[in-house]
Amino acid sequence: MLYQMVLGRRFEEKCAEVYRMGKIGGFCHLYIGQEAIATGAMMALEPSDMVITSYRDHVQAMVKGIAPEAVLAELYGKIGGCVKGKGGSMHMFSKEHEFYGGHGIVGGQIGVGTGMAYAAKYKESGQVTLCFFGEAAVNQGIFHESLNMAQLWKLPVIYICENNHYGMGTSQERAMSTRNIAKKADAYEMANEFVDGMDVMAVRDAALRAIERARNESLPTLLEVRSYRYMGHSMSDPGNYRTREEIAKYQERDPIVLFKDSLQEAKVLGDKDFDAIEAKAAETVERAVKFAEESPFPPESELLTDVLV
């Protein structure tokens, strides 16, 4: 899990670097600061379980098994990307790895994720669905409609609200009448938990409880996982709505540092071990950069393929 978190951090740092160099076009939303959520929740899944998420999807795609090379090539718009360079940053996808996006419409994936869970129950596939979204999506009607249906129809779905405090540049306090998102599930008699999103083991433990509930009882859960994004909403966001002091306060509880320290305190990780993890992550990221750089752009013949009319 520590390697996956470090890889996610170094990968996103490289994305920021090459974005500034003009290698990546369009929007680019980074996950730096939130690595414990994807890692803790998704590494508790079976490979056949399904995941759907929002536009902040690079790290989640890699945790689900899509190669870093294919994720970065997708960011570059190259044919070697996981969707042949046609989706870009916000639309990572892999049927092979049961990863269903990457969605750009705020909250839109909540309804789709609910439908995926319905299909799994209908087909008796035994699959659990994880559906990620940000706290701003909770103000959308589809959030409430989906939770009502999921509890009414007893669907094996886990809704994971990644509460990073800001919907684009608007703080949660300015946009939401109550800060306790987990308790919104009480309105639908749905199981719910508040989780410290800087603690990867706390995320994993909560996810395991929700996964057991979904797989064995076919019941949904809402997890509110409170975290903090260090970067702006996207690469084009200067972040003038918050102070450097505020960011620094949250970085004192950096999820990677917290987990590393806990492992060292338990004497299961040494400095050399962590150095090896960092070196492996750096090597993987450089390999992904080389692949993305060398991969060609999609040929003209790809213009009308994979398009529904």
215-262 pLDDT, tens per residue?
999 999 999 999 999 999 999 998 999 999 999 999 999 999 999 999
Tokens 């992904």, residue located: 288
Give the pTM. 0.96
Q: Which residues contact 176 (CB under 8 A, 6 or more apart)?
A: 135, 138, 139
The pLDDT confidence band at residue 178, using thresholds 50, 70 and 90, is: confident
State yes or no: pLDDT of 309 exceeds 80. no
The DSSP secondary-structure symbol of 220 reads -
Residue 295, token pair as written in the block:
């991969």
Token output for 77: 């718009």
Mean pLDDT, range 93-106, rounded to an integer: 96
φ, ψ for residue 196 (rounded to 5)?
A: -75, 110
Closest CA to 254 of 273, 276, 229, 277: 229
- Under the banding of pLDDT at 50, 70 and 90, the label for residue 204 is very high
* Amino acid type, 132: F
Distance between CA atoms of residues 8 and 162, nearest Å: 16
d(CA 250, CA 101): 28
